[in-house]
Every structure is written in C-alpha cells, then in structure tokens.
Structure 1
C-alpha cells in the first residue's frame, strides 16, 4: 500500500502543467466545467447549491464527478476538482487547476478522505510544493454527478 501511495504521489508531482488563460490565471471552476461537462458557473463554493435539482449529489466518489470544496479562510471561493480514478473508498485521483500554484493544472493528484465518518466531508489533497498530501484537511460538500453517469439521478431534489 505504501508503495502504491508513493508511486501515485511521484506521478502527481510529474504532471503539473503551467497554463496561462486568456484572462490571466486559469481557475478551478472553468477547468472543472470543461473536463466534467457539468454546466455550473460562478465561484466554486456555490456549485453545490447550484447543483441541487440539476445534477445528482452525493458522498460517493465516481469517475467524472466533481468534488466540491467549501469556502474557507484560505480558500475564499472554495474549489472544485474532477475525479479521474477511484482507488478505494477513501482515496481518489483528481484532476484540477490552481491548487498547488496559480495557473497550474494537476493531473493525477491524490486525494484522501480523512473525515471521521468516511463521508468525504474532509479531504487531504496532494500539494506539489511539499511533494505529498497537504498537511491540513479541507472541508467539502461532496460529489456532483454529471448527467448520464452513475449516481446522476440520486438526490436531485435534496
């Protein structure tokens, strides 16, 4: 297990891609929208609420889903990231932008559920500047499921 985690973290460190957007630094929301096909707009922290009634939402990771992060003092607009692979019930691989540095796209970044109830409400995410999972847990709402994917029809009216 430790070898797999080390390999994933090593791969994640190699897949950082600096990208300049036309309006400056590429943000997480436009990137997640492009990758997932989920058509939500505005600050990432508002995506969970916007998804109600439009997209399925839940606490189970699925490939193609968007993990929606809550706003915090250090992450005032929240964050969104797309799930590219589910490793097990507590670990996924994310693709996202602007997490480890301005305008950086990360492909194959490990995220680990560290919530006490195993419900993905707190995660630690690979952070390139330190080369491992971040030191603090980030609060999340859960996963937003795109149309046509497993779980897309759950919790539409919650």
Structure 2
C-alpha cells in the first residue's frame, strides 16, 4: 500500500515525504513533521533504543535535516546494523533495504550512519530511538 501511494503521488507530480510513507508502512498513526514524532509518540506508543522489525527509527532534526526523518526497520542484521525502508532520503524517492549502522559510543542507537549507495555509508546522524507499533494481539 505504501509503495502504491508513492507511485500515485509521483504520477501526479507530488512530492514523496518520509512521514506519510512511514505512517503507511508501519501503521503508526502520528501526524506532523518527523522531528515531532518522538515527542508525540510518548503517550501513545512504546519507545526505546532497541531496534525491532516494524519499528520507526526517529532521527533528530539537524541543520542539514531540519524537519528530522523517520524510517521503518525491515530487518535486523546484527545488534549494530539494521535494514530500513524510507522515503525522501534521496529527494522524492523511496529507498528500500538500506543499511543503517549504530556508531554510537555506548551502542545505544543514538548516532548512526546510513547507507547512501550499496556498501557506502554517509554522514553521522543523531537518532532519538525507535517507536514501536502497537501489538494488535
């Protein structure tokens, strides 16, 4: 469903953003800019520093990324590397199966590097943590 919505937006010449993509993919219904998700999730969703498949990784706002960013964990490779799917990391595109490495001093996912091209990791980005979808069971 998330990819279908992206294709429809692109066909209409509309911009693809990380927030609606993450919301559709994860089922986590939070509104507002990505930088606001961590705070808004406080009372409605579990949050933490352990990656989990289906969780949303909440990136802090930076000077280069003033609205923050959100990505959805699709796989866990090791305790310090996950695979994410997200939108608008590369302008107006969906990026599937991109690696993210925890490079934080205390192995707590507060600082990461994101795969920009296969096997190549870019800048350092601060992360709030992970927002976990509600268990419907």
Unaligned 5+ segments in structure 1 are: 1-17, 150-158
Relative contact order, CA 8 A, sep 6+: which one is greater? Answer: 1
Q: How many residues align?
A: 129
1:102 maps to which of 91, 95, 104:
91
Structure 2 match to 1:25 = 15
- Give the counterpart of 2:105 among 116, 127, 139: 116
CA shift, 1:123, in A, is 0.4
- 1:91-116 per-residue CA deviation (whole Å, 9 max, x = no partner) reads 000000000x2111011000000000
- CA distance 1:64–1:57, change in 2 (3 Å): same
Q: Which runs of 5+ in 2 are unaligned?
A: 1-5
Task: Tell me what 1:142 maps to.
Answer: 129
Distance 1:89 1:49 in 2: 25
Taking the aligned partners of 1:79 and 1:50, their CA distance within structure 2 comes to 14
User: What is the RMSD of the two structures over their aligned residues, measured on CA atoms?
Assistant: 1.7
Counterpart-to-counterpart distance in 2, 1:22 and 1:77: 24
Q: Deviations over 1:22-78 (max 9, x none)?
A: 572100000000000000011000000000010000000000000000000000000
Q: Which whole-Å CA distance do the structure 2 matches of 1:21 and 1:62 have between them?
A: 33
> Match of 1:66?
56
TM-score normalised according to structure 2 size:
0.89
